[in-house]
């Protein structure tokens, strides 16, 4: 059962990283486009 928690935390961590990465790209494109 502990494996499920491990995967859940990995999923949350990956989701946060991906969202932050996409947000950074969006901000960068906004800055470039003025």
- Each domain of the chain, given as residue ranges in start order, spans 1-34
Mean of the per-residue pLDDT values of the chain: 91
pTM: 0.63
- When pLDDT is cut at 50, 70 and 90, the band that residue 4 belongs to is confident
Q: What is the pLDDT of residues 12-28, one digit of tens each?
A: 999 999 999 999 999 99
**What is the separation of C-alpha 6 from the centre of its chain, rounded to a whole number of angstroms?**
17
Structure tokens at 13: 């961590």
């Amino acid at each position: 059962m502990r494996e499920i928690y491990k995967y859940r935390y990995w999923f949350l961590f990956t989701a946060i990283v991906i969202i932050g990465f996409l947000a950074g790209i969006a901000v960068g494109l906004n800055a470039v486009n003025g």
